[in-house]
Amino acid sequence: MNPLNISPQGRSFLNRRDFLKTTGGALGSLGLLSLLGQDQLLAAGSGKSPIRPKINSANPYAPRPGHFPAKAKQVLVVYCPGGVSHVDTFDYKPDLWKFNGQKPPGIPAVTFEGPTGNIAKPFWDFKARGKSGKMVSDLVPHLGELSDELCFIHSMKSGTSAHPQGENFFNTGFTVEGHPSRGAWISYALGTENQNLPAFVAINDPRGKPRSAKNNWGSGFLPAAYQGTDFSASALPANLNLPKSISKGSEKNTNDLLKFLNEKHMEQFPEDSNLAARVATYELAGRMQMSIPEVSNIDAEPQYILDQYGANSSNKTKNEYARNCILARRLLEQGVRVVELYNGANTPNGINNWDSHSNIKKTHQAQADIMDQPTAALIKDMQDRGMLDDVLVVWCTEFGRMPFLQANGTGRDHNQSAFTCFMAGAGVKKGFSYGSSDNWGFKGADKPVEIYDFNATILHLMGLDHERLSYYHNGIEARLTNVHGHVVKDLLA
C-alpha cells in the first residue's frame, strides 16, 4: 500500500507511538463513559443535568419528592383506543354544515385507508353547555354537562396515524416498543403513598386490551418494579385470592415470617440491589393479597353511587366499565399514584373501540354509550369528594378522525394532524379551551400541541421537569419526551 494514498489521519496510525496514544485515549474515554453511565452521572441531552430520584433499593415504591412543588399528587388517565372523532364530540365546526356533501380545495384524494369522499357534517347535534356555553355534541351529553370543569386542547397532533404506533407514541413518547410508559416514569420518580397497593395500575376495558397491549403501561428499560399492574373490577389477578383453607391471620403470620427471613438473607448480601428489589416486589404481592379484595369490593358502594355510574345498566359492557370507573376512584382514594382506565379493546370479533372506518354513527354511538356516563360520573364523584384538589384527570385518544368521509360514505379515516383531548382537576384551568384546528377540523391552525408537549405538561403538574427526568440507557440519557417538548403553561391554573 502506498502511504501517499492514505489520509494524514490514517498515516498517523502507521506510527506505533501515535497509534498507542490515540487508541489508549479512546479506550479510556469509553471506560469513563461506562462508569459515569453506571452511576447515572451523565448529563441529559437538553444540557440540563438529570435530577435522580433517591431510591431505596429495598423499597422501590417508597414515596419520593419531585423536582419542585407539585400541583397534582396523583393522575388518572382515561384512554380511548381507536381514535375518537373530535369533529363529532368536542370540536364544533359550523363550516362542516356549510360544506356538507362538498369537496373543498385542499382535501387529499387519498388518506390512511384509501380514497376520500366528501365533507360530512357531524352525525350528532351540538349544544351550548354550562355557563361557558361550550359547544359539545349530543354523543357525549354527560361529559358535556361538565364542560365548565374541563380544560380542552383542540390543537393536538401526533407523529403517526397507525393505531399500535399511535398508542405507543402517546403513552411512551416513541412509536416503537420497548420504552417506559408515562405511568412508569411517574412511579419511578415519585413512588407511591400506599405501600399495600401498586404505584401504577392499568384497568383494562372489560372486552380486552388495546392494540399495543402491555406496552401502554410497561416499564421498558426502567426497573420492572415500575410497570403498571394490570387488572380490572371483574378480572382481579387469580393469585390474589386466598385459598378457602387459609385464614387472613394465618396469611399475615406467614408473610411476617417470610419478611424476617428475607431481611436476614439480605444482611448477607447488602450490595445486591436486584435481590432487594425482587424481595420488595414479592412483599408487595403479599400485602396486595390483603388489600386488593377490600379496595375492589365495588358492591360495598351505596346504591346511589352504582346508579350514578351506570353500574346496573342492562348493557353488560357499560356495567363492567362503570365498575372499573368506581375501582379507579377507590384506588386513587387509597393513594395509588397513577391509574389508567381504558375504554376500548382490540378484539378479533368486531369493532370494540373507537376505530370507525365504516358506519361511524353506529360504532361511535356504541362506544359513547359505554364511556360517557361512567366517565362523567367518575369526574363528578371525585369533585364532590374533594379529590380533584390533588388528582389530575386526563382524557385522551391517539388521534382524531377526518372531517370528510371515506369512499364508503359511512366512516371517517384517521387524522393525526388535529384532534382533541382534555384535562381536569389539580393544576389546570376550568372551562377553558386552548388552541384550534382549521375551519373543518382537518389540520391544526393555532397553538399546536405535540404529544411531547402534552406529556411534558403532565409531568410538570406532577412536580417533575421532563428535561431532567431521565434514565441512562444504551449510551444516552433517555426520557419520556425524547429531546422535545415544552410545558403548555397557558393550561395551568
DSSP 145-204: TTGGGEEEEEEEE-S--SHHHHHHHHHHSSSSSSSPPHHHHHHHHH--S-TTS-SEEEE-
d(CA 448, CA 322): 33
Query: Are residues 216 and 79 in contact, defined by beta-carbon separation less than 8 angstroms?
Result: yes
Asked whether 59 and 225 are in contact (CB, 8 A), the reply is: no
Record the cell numbers describing residue 491, joined without a space.
Answer: 393550561
Residues 187 and 474: beta-carbon distance below 8 Å: no
Pairwise CA distance, residues 52 & 41, whole Å:
9
Helix (H) or strand (E) holding 77: strand 74-79
* Alpha carbon distances (Å) from 207 to 277, 346, 350: 33, 8, 11
Q: Check if the beta carbon of residue 420 is closer than 8 Å to that of residue 143.
A: no
Nearest to 339 by CA among 281, 295, 309, 369: 295
CA atoms within 13 A on the CB side of 9: 2
pLDDT at 41: 46
Task: Give how far Cα 90 sits from Cα of 124, 180, 336, 338, 346, Å.
Answer: 11, 30, 30, 26, 24
CATH architecture of the domain 74-236+299-491 equals 3-Layer(aba) Sandwich (3.40)
DSSP string, 475-490: TEEE-TTTT-----GG
Count CA atoms within 13 Å of residue 48 on its CB side.
14
Place of cell 369533585: 383
Alpha carbons 122 and 65: distance in angstroms, whole number:
46
User: Cell digits for 222?
Assistant: 426502567
User: What's the full length of the chain, in residues?
Assistant: 493
| Residue 467 to residues 46, 62, 307, 471, Cα–Cα distance (Å) | 6, 23, 44, 11
The rounded radius of gyration (Å) of the Cα atoms in the chain is 26
Quick one: three-class SS letters along 300-334? HCCHHHHHHHCCCCCCHHHHHHHHHHHHHHHHHHC
Q: Are 255 and 282 in contact (CB under 8 A)?
A: no
User: For 399-451, where are the E strands, in sequence order?
Assistant: 400-406, 412-415, 419-425, 432-434, 436-437, 444-446, 449-450
Longest dimension (CA), the chain: 91
> Cβ(226)–Cβ(188) under 8 Å?
yes
pLDDT 10s per residue in the chain (493 long)?
A: 455 555 444 555 556 666 566 555 555 555 554 454 444 444 444 567 888 888 877 788 899 999 999 999 999 999 999 999 999 999 999 999 999 999 877 788 888 888 889 999 999 999 999 999 999 999 999 999 999 999 999 999 999 999 999 999 999 999 999 999 999 999 999 999 998 899 999 999 999 999 999 999 999 999 988 999 998 888 776 666 667 788 878 877 887 888 788 778 778 877 666 666 677 777 777 777 778 878 889 999 999 999 999 999 999 999 999 999 999 999 999 999 999 999 999 987 667 999 999 999 999 999 999 999 999 999 999 999 999 999 999 999 999 999 999 999 999 999 999 999 999 999 999 999 999 999 999 998 899 999 999 999 999 999 999 999 999 999 999 999 999 999 999 999 9
C-alpha cell at 453: 408537549
Helices and strands per DSSP (H, E), number in the chain: 12, 19
| pTM for the model | 0.86
Question: Where in the chain are the domains?
Answer: 3-38, 74-236+299-491, 241-295
Report the DSSP pairing between strands 229-231 and 338-342: unpaired
Phi-psi region of 482 (alpha: psi -120 to 50; beta: other; left: phi over 0): left
State CA 407 to chain mean position distance: 33
Q: What is d(CA 17, CA 367) in angstroms, rounded to the nearest whole number?
A: 72
In the DSSP assignment, the letter for residue 424 is: E
> Strand order in 114-119's β-sheet?
110-111, 114-119, 400-406, 412-415
Cα dist. 6→11, 24, 399 in Å? 6, 22, 54
What are 392's strand-pairing partners? 75, 425
